[in-house]
């Protein structure tokens, strides 16, 4: 069994459910012969879409686990839900195009906090809708552990929370073993025969056709930095305050990924026809951790993809923000991930990739509104 895992921090944790699933499957006589885990903590499914597209020979895997429900709760809002729909459908369509016989498992985990239950239900309904729509042409299943745990605890919240270490992670004594057993039992199931052509997307703006630019490959003459640890290796462009990095792209920006460090300066994104955005890219958890970094991403989640008027080419300018200039740019600040303004004069920011949505190819038979 060859398994690919893409998700958030629950899939990164070691020890965690992924390692226990491997042990349980080995004990059952259905071992995982090859496991590739491309999960990144504290990021949404947009990071998953980027990382899946970097996997060569996706068709060599038998099964893929997609675990983003917890992380995607940040997109379960009226302003951002269309972005989530386009992103998650984009993941499924990309996988089914590249590896139509792979078994896809959508793993739904939940937050401990009861106030997050409505958002979890919104993501659940979205995954159910997509799984049903594409189930006729692909091996698509849902592993709804959150629902299983709520049923097991008789929907008693006081008992439900005993399986958690914190709001977003299960504990090792009860939660993780139960999760691992549940996932392992699902992975043992054989694939079923499917046939049929890829249907039109439910959302005309599905991000499977989004383009991803690896900025170090297109930034001629700019300084670069390599970031590497035991799990990740990423290159990034080092932006400066006195020089804007100008790109021409063929459609609206979807998201940007960058590397957060303790001393990184803010990032200013100026997209033609859009309001500027300033992001803080310094993270307080990295203080006194020389050389440490976090992979972060920012989605332009408020865009109404089905209603965007200008879908064509535009210029994007990326630059560092001098600490002294932060107050004057504060109207453009969008805060994420508990980031801070940095230390002293700082360095960077360090931008890795950019995703944009080009105009669709003409399809005279489509009944969907073009986007």
pLDDT, tens digit, 9 for 90 and up, residues 173-216: 999 999 999 999 999 988 777 778 899 999 999 999 999 999 99
Strands 103-108 and 294-299 turn out to be unpaired
pLDDT digits (tens, 9 = 90+) for 251-276: 999 999 999 999 999 999 999 999 99
What percentage of the chain exceeds 90 in pLDDT? Answer: 88
Q: Which CATH superfamily is domain 2-187 in?
A: SGNH hydrolase (3.40.50.1110)
**What is the signed CA dihedral for 64, 65, 69, 75, rounded to 10 degrees?**
-30
In whole angstroms, give the CA distance from residue 7 to residue 41: 7
- Kindly state the tokens that stand for 92: 């499924």
Please, which pLDDT band fits residue 49 given cuts at 50, 70 and 90? Answer: very high
At residue 367, the pLDDT reads: 38
Fold category of 210-356 in CATH: Jelly Rolls (2.60.120)
Among 252, 278, 250, 247, which residue's Cα sits nearest to residue 349? 278
Residue 266 has phi, psi (to 5 degrees) of -65, 160
Chain segment 125-177, per-residue pLDDT in tens: 999 999 999 998 999 999 999 999 999 999 999 999 999 999 999 999 999 99
Which residues lie below 8 Å from residue 291, measured CB to CB, with a gap of 6+? Answer: none
Q: Is the pLDDT of residue 364 over 70?
A: no
Q: What is the mean pLDDT of residues 293-312?
A: 95
Q: pLDDT band at residue 289, thresholds of 50, 70 and 90?
A: confident
- pLDDT of the residue at 368: 40
Given a contact cutoff of 8 angstroms between Cβ atoms, the answer to whether 68 and 37 are in contact is no
Whether the link from the prior residue into 121 is cis, omega within 30° of 0, is no
pLDDT digits (tens, 9 = 90+) for 26-47: 999 999 999 999 999 999 999 9
Mean predicted lDDT score pLDDT of the chain:
94
Gap between the Cα atoms of 166 and 49, Å rounded: 27
The domain ranges of the chain are: 2-187, 210-356
Q: Is the pLDDT of residue 320 over 90?
A: yes
In the structure, what pLDDT confidence band is assigned to residue 360 with cuts at 50, 70 and 90? Answer: confident
Average pLDDT estimate for 58-76: 97
315 contacts 247 by C-beta, under 8 angstroms: yes
pLDDT at residue 149, as a whole number: 98
């Amino acid at each position: 069994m060859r398994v690919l895992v893409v998700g958030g921090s629950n899939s990164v944790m070691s020890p965690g459910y992924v390692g226990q699933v491997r042990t349980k499957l080995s004990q059952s006589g259905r071992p995982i012969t090859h496991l590739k885990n491309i999960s990144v903590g504290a990021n949404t499914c947009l990071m998953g879409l980027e990382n899946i597209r970097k996997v060569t020979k996706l068709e060599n895997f038998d099964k893929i686990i997609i675990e983003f429900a917890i992380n995607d709760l940040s997109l379960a809002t009226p302003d951002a839900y269309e972005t989530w729909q386009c992103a998650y459908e984009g993941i499924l369509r990309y996988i089914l195009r590249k590896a139509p016989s792979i078994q896809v498992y959508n793993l739904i985990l939940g937050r401990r906090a009861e106030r997050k239950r409505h958002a979890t239900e919104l993501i659940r309904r979205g995954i159910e809708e997509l799984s049903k729509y594409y189930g006729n042409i692909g091996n698509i299943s849902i592993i709804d552990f959150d629902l299983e745990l709520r049923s097991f605890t008789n929907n008693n919240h006081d008992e439900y929370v005993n399986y958690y270490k914190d709001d977003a992670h299960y504990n090792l004594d009860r939660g993780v073993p139960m999760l691992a057993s549940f996932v392992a039992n699902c992975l043992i199931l054989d694939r079923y025969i499917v046939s049929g052509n890829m249907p039109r997307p439910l959302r005309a703006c599905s991000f499977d056709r989004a383009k991803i630019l690896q900025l170090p490959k297109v930034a001629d003459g700019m300084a670069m930095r390599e970031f590497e640890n035991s799990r990740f290796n990423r290159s990034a462009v080092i932006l400066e305050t006195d020089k804007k990095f100008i790109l021409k792209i063929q459609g609206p920006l979807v998201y940007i990924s960058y590397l957060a460090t303790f001393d990184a300066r803010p990032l200013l994104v100026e997209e033609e026809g859009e309001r500027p955005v300033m992001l803080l890219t310094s993270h307080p958890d990295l203080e006194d951790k020389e050389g440490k970094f976090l992979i972060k991403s920012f989605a332009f989640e408020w865009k109404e993809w089905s209603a965007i008027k200008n879908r064509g080419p535009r210029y994007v300018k990326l630059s560092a923000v001098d600490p002294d200039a932060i107050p004057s740019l504060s109207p453009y600040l969008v805060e994420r991930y508990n980031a801070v303004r940095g230390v002293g004069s700082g360095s960077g920011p360090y931008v890795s990739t950019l995703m944009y949505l080009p105009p669709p190819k003409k399809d005279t038979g489509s009944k969907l509104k073009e986007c």
